[in-house]
Amino acid sequence: MTPGSITVQSTGSASAEGKTYEGLKVTSSDLQILLLLDANHRLMRLEVPEAKVSVIRD
Amino acid sequence: MDTGVRSTVKFRTVSFALTFGIVACGGLSLAAQKKSTPTSGPVVFAQDKGKLTIKLGGQTVGHEEFEIAPSGGGWLAKGTAEIKPPEGSSSKVSGSLTLQGNGAPISYDWSAQTEKTNGAHVLFANGVASITLEMQGARPFQQDLSFGSPMIAVLDNNLYHQYAVLPRN
């Protein structure tokens, strides 16, 4: 395990596959991760464009 | 602890996002506001349960089931992911994170099954994570990590439900 720091910033409204979410950008020393949340702040999608990774709630 | 992380990061292409096993959320604005929040302060979590599909380049490489629920006066966020990258053997990773109502972690248990079974137990107190790492075939290894704040986010390899906890912090 490695300690580090991240920052989390709101990106406002964001859309994916025709749906609108609330976006949060998580930034570490070497990565940017986009979290897409529904109106209840539930995680619906996680995207790391640089790595072509998507994590999608079923 | 690097050894532990590397052992679970056989699937670098999938676990890209998990450079950190444990990450201190120093820049998280909401967390920063709560640094002075007593442990008995407002509850920030909401019950949640679901399944995640993990895709790499549009191809499904894994699934994860998770649940976030009240537990023993605090909260428990647990999940299990099964990952089979296009090139490489499959892996099963589980994590259970207990949290105070204000989001500060209490303990974290992790296990990973690949060719070997490895695990770790972490206790959090006063901004210090006391880690016991158990690698199959090796003696337990202990390490303390100091974060300078009790508001610590745990973002483990291939356990993406932990990002569902992050917005609550």
pLDDT digits (tens, 9 = 90+) for B8-46: 222 232 333 333 345 554 333 333 333 333 344 566 788
- Per-residue confidence at B169, pLDDT binned at 50, 70, 90? low
B51/A57 Cβ within 8 A: yes
Give contacts of A54 with chain B, Cβ < 8 Å.
54-55, 58
Report, as an integer, the average pLDDT of B138-160: 89
pLDDT of residue B93: 95
Give the residues across from B113 on adjacent strands: B92, B117
B25/A8 Cβ within 8 A: yes
- Say whether pLDDT at A2 is over 50: yes
Residues 6+ apart with CB under 8 A from A17: none
CA pair distance B54, B84, nearest whole angstrom: 10
Residues 6+ apart with CB under 8 A from B21: A1, A2, B1, B4, B5, B154, B155, B156, B157
CA pair distance A4, B150, nearest whole angstrom: 14
Closest Cβ opposite residue A42 in set B4, B164, B166: B164
Give contacts of A49 with chain B, Cβ < 8 Å.
none
- Say whether pLDDT at A43 is over 60: yes
CA pair distance B74, B5, nearest whole angstrom: 27
Kindly report the nearest CA distance between residue A18 and chain B, in angstroms: 17
Contact between A27 and B44 (Cβ < 8 Å): no
pLDDT digits (tens, 9 = 90+) for B85-122: 888 889 999 999 999 998 899 999 999 998 889 999 99
Q: B22, B28, B156: best mutation site toward chain A, by most A Cβ within 10 Å?
A: B28
Kindly report the nearest CA distance between residue B56 and chain A, in angstroms: 5
Closest Cβ opposite residue B55 in set A35, A37, A54: A54
Question: Between B12 and A57, whose confidence is greater?
Answer: A57
Helix, strand, coil abundance in chain B, percent, nearest 5: 15, 50, 35
Contact between B135 and B7 (Cβ < 8 Å): yes
Q: In this structure, are strands B105-113 and A5-16 parallel, antiparallel, or unpaired?
A: unpaired
Kindly report the nearest CA distance between residue B72 and chain A, in angstroms: 22
Question: Between B83 and B15, whose confidence is greater?
Answer: B83
pLDDT digits (tens, 9 = 90+) for B152-166: 889 887 899 999 998
Count of H helices and E strands in chain A? 0, 5
Report, as an integer, the average pLDDT of A2-28: 90
Kindly report the nearest CA distance between residue A19 and chain B, in angstroms: 17
A2/B1 Cβ within 8 A: yes
For chains A and B, count residue pairs whose Cβ atoms are closer than 8 Å: 129
Closest CA to B110 of B99, B123, B124, B96: B96
Closest Cβ opposite residue A56 in set B26, B28, B53: B53
ipTM over 0.85: yes
Position of tokens 């508001």?
A: B151
Which amino acid is located at B78 in the chain? K
Position of tokens 């990565």?
A: A31
Closest Cβ opposite residue A46 in set B4, B13, B163: B163
3-state SS, residue B15: helix
